[in-house]
Structure 1
């Protein structure tokens, strides 16, 4: 099994100021060693390490960890897609085969940024290098994400954290409509990850998460959904194992072959592991 969404960092209170005091359980260092026992217990063979810092230094940091830890099967790094030097930077990073794709923290950006022609032109350069692109956004940004994705029909995308629906309020109608529109693009997949951070951290109910899963699987199907944990962010709510068992419980409705797609095969295909 592959966990498609894990973060590692050496905690820096200035750089990592998004990790508030309320999230103090994750205000320290997290390395692959912190995951080894959990992965062994759950028979998870590896992970995709996803950028948490928007700098090319992050790529070097994750590559060093990957060299030292077989747990890391692939990396989603960061690159400035609006840079006039983008092509040469992509050529440089293409020497490092563990880097499978790229991500920008679009949830912190405006709709204007998402639809900036320079940004979209940058995404259009990724296919030449067979790179994927992770879409990180809030549910209220999905309209712009759809408009952007529509302009790059041959680029492999994956939506992180199901597009961050409002799990807590269960106001899912507009989000669900946008998930349906986004999923009409056959080049877009979705990660079942990160939803506990969007729920009431201590008092969420299983049905609230399953309502979101229903929408994702109805629209993307088992062939375009992949499991991810969003560890260590998931720890603000529950231990890693609780999230894994929650997704596993939902997946019991699928066949063994379909579960293998969700937990293993889709990730291997998408990230070319």
Structure 2
């Protein structure tokens, strides 16, 4: 069974998502019930909701909305990685309040939609360091050219547990492996970073990719981080841009055909349950 560490839900009646206007294929509602139908068929038994870069005024509302969904009978949602703004002076007080909610498992600030130097800001870095000791994680969602800044942030907050989203966002469609391979290897040398095997189907050619297309990127990420420091994510509904959740799960199993049962367990569920204290 699988723990999906990267689920997005979109409800435009409840929340505002300014960025959706630029991605017509995703500019519609994606509900828990729709996800759960596919997820159960794929063997997914629990999921962590990943913030969807809502309007900043809706950050708290997004957390409350998803937590309410998690309490419905049959919900697969086991927690949330919530949106945050470490660049703002109010972050410490916000962090203290959010830490009291056990539903919150970690934080993310999408960095590829802001200036590259945002994470180099002194206030940003000091606020991220405040997460240390909380048991909560910080997801890094960066483009390959931003990996230098991401590694600097990790180095300045050695007591914070980071998660690198989407295998570092390689350009699979272009077949680009360099300098991505070197960047992943360098990031993986930092013990406070976990690699997330997610998102890659959206970066491949939707009409032609196969498991073998994805193999160099997935295998290199796993090899670099090791089986104890990787987790799996569905990235639904973004994965629908590259074939959908069931196709991604099937490809994952094909890519893991040579792994041991224990290695598969670690990637697909065990590491996530340990990292996010999911029981």
Which category of TM-score, normalised to the shorter sequence, fits these structures?
Answer: over 0.9
What is the aligned counterpart of 2:70 among 60, 66, 86?
66
Q: How far 1:43 sits from its partner (Å)? A: 2.3
What corresponds to 2:125 in structure 1? 120
Distance in 2 (CA, whole Å) between partners of 1:188 and 1:234 is 23
Residues 142 and 168 in structure 2, CA contact (< 8 A), matched pair in contact too: yes
Q: How far 1:108 sits from its partner (Å)? A: 0.9
What corresponds to 2:48 in structure 1? 48
Structure 2: which 5+ runs fail to align? none
Distance in 1 (CA, whole Å) between partners of 2:206 and 2:22 is 15
Distance in 2 (CA, whole Å) between partners of 1:7 and 1:125 is 26
Confirm or deny that 1:269 pairs with 2:274.
Answer: yes
What is the aligned counterpart of 2:237 among 232, 242, 246?
232
Distance in 1 (CA, whole Å) between partners of 2:236 and 2:224 is 25
Residues 87 and 118 in structure 2, CA contact (< 8 A), matched pair in contact too: no
SS of match in other structure, 2:277: coil
Confirm or deny that 1:36 pairs with 2:13.
Answer: no
What corresponds to 1:2 in structure 2? 3
What corresponds to 2:19 in structure 1? 18
SS of match in other structure, 1:168: coil
Q: How far 1:36 sits from its partner (Å)? A: 2.0
Which runs of 4 or more aligned residues in structure 1 lie more than 6 Å from their structure 2 counterparts after TM superposition?
none
SS of match in other structure, 2:4: strand
Distance in 2 (CA, whole Å) between partners of 1:204 and 1:21 is 24
Distance in 1 (CA, whole Å) between partners of 2:206 and 2:17 is 20
What corresponds to 1:167 in structure 2? 172
Distance in 1 (CA, whole Å) between partners of 2:36 and 2:92 is 36
Distance 1:15 1:143, change over 3 A: same
Residues 195 and 229 in structure 2, CA contact (< 8 A), matched pair in contact too: yes
Structure 1: which 5+ runs fail to align? none
SS of match in other structure, 2:254: helix
Distance in 2 (CA, whole Å) between partners of 1:104 and 1:262 is 24
What corresponds to 1:152 in structure 2? 157
Q: How far 1:92 sits from its partner (Å)? A: 1.3
Distance in 1 (CA, whole Å) between partners of 2:65 and 2:110 is 18
Confirm or deny that 1:138 pairs with 2:143.
Answer: yes
The normalised TM-score by structure 2 is 0.91
Distance in 1 (CA, whole Å) between partners of 2:27 and 2:114 is 24
SS of match in other structure, 1:134: strand
Q: How far 1:74 sits from its partner (Å)? A: 1.3
Distance 1:190 1:23, change over 3 A: farther
Moved more, 88-97 or 224-233: 88-97
Aligned length: 271
> Deviations along 1:234-270, whole A, 9 cap, x unmatched?
1112121100010111111110011000001110111
> Deviations along 1:166-196, whole A, 9 cap, x unmatched?
1011111101111111000111001111011
SS of match in other structure, 1:62: helix
The normalised TM-score by structure 1 is 0.93
> Deviations along 1:64-83, whole A, 9 cap, x unmatched?
22222531111000122123
